[in-house]
Amino acid sequence: MSRNIFVLTGAGVSAESGLGTFRDKSGEGIWARFDPMKLATPEGFAADPKTVLAFYDERRRNLRNARPNVAHHALAKLEMGLAARGGHLTLVTQNIDNLHERAGSRRVVHMHGELLKARCVTCEGVDEWLGDLSQNDACAYCGTAGGMRPHVVWFGETPLEMSDIYRALLRADLFVAIGTSGAVYPAAGFVAEARALLIETCEINLEAADNASLFDDARYGPASETVPAWVEETLGA
């Protein structure tokens, strides 16, 4: 039987690549050091664009020094392995890094946007953006300067590709959440939607997330160990 697997990843899959998570129990997470309401909301950006742009510039620089880890590579292998068996992997990530792509994943749905892209508030044009982003930068499409922002989804904004995401969830026979605290909606609600559709659910995480009780199965430990093991098992089955 060909498998149709829906995987949702969060910051935990990139933790061992050196990119920070947001809500670590250790209290070291990004949101423990920065106020998300000031740095990850449209209001925060309007109030203090320079600080918000500097926050994303630093994360863009960190990403340039980061490398995909074995968990990212395992998920790229799963995508190819399922396709070779007539199945399908839908990979949805809350992460704005490009480590899934750099590990070889071909189709990645970035529901919270992408750190290496910028968007023009005037014409909505989206362009690749690898360096620092300043208010003086001009849009490559409409030429307007002063209206560029990170192409990321802030709190209170609508996540991207939601209709495709829900359509893929309807077709899945397995839902797996990897390295996410289950704290942010609508992503945190996908497991409940999967259960309502009688889809088998599995949590792969360092430790049990807030919504752990909603999962039928769980594998705990660092993603660099749990994800490759799960992929081998899944492709071997």
Window 184-203: contact mask with ligand BV8 (x via CB under 6 A): xxx-----------------
As a whole number of angstroms, the distance between CA 229 and CA 212 comes to: 20
- From 73-81, 139-147, 156-164, 195-203, give the range in contact with ligand BV8 by CB under 6 A: 156-164
Angle at 14 between CA 12 and CA 15, to 5 degrees: 60
The closest alpha carbon to 194, from 210, 212, 171, belongs to 171
Closer Cβ to ligand BV8, 132 or 207, answer by number: 207
- From 10-18, 79-87, 129-137, 190-198, give the range in contact with ligand BV8 by CB under 6 A: 10-18
Q: In Å, how far from its chain's centre is CA 143?
A: 30
As a whole number of angstroms, the distance between CA 66 and CA 56 comes to: 15
Q: Residue 96 interacts with ligand BV8 (CB under 6 A)?
A: yes
Instruction: Enumerate residues 55-94 that contact ligand BV8 by CB under 6 A.
Output: 94
- From 13-21, 74-82, 98-106, 193-201, give the range in contact with ligand BV8 by CB under 6 A: 13-21
Residue 64 DSSP SS3: helix
Q: Residue 23 interacts with ligand BV8 (CB under 6 A)?
A: yes
Q: Residue 98 interacts with ligand BV8 (CB under 6 A)?
A: no
Active-site hit among 72, 88, 100, 112: 112
Helix, strand, coil content of the chain in percent (nearest 5):
40, 20, 40
- In a 13 Å sphere around the CA of 74, the CA atoms on its Cβ side amount to 21
Task: In angstroms, give the least distance from the CB of 83 to ligand BV8.
Answer: 25
The total number of residues shown for the chain amounts to 237
As a whole number of angstroms, the distance between CA 115 and CA 126 comes to: 12
Closer Cβ to ligand BV8, 35 or 124, answer by number: 35
Active site (catalytic) residues: 112
Give the interface with ligand BV8 as residue ranges (CB under 6 A): 10-12, 15-16, 21-23, 29, 40, 94, 96, 112, 152-159, 162, 179-181, 183-186, 205-207, 209, 222-223
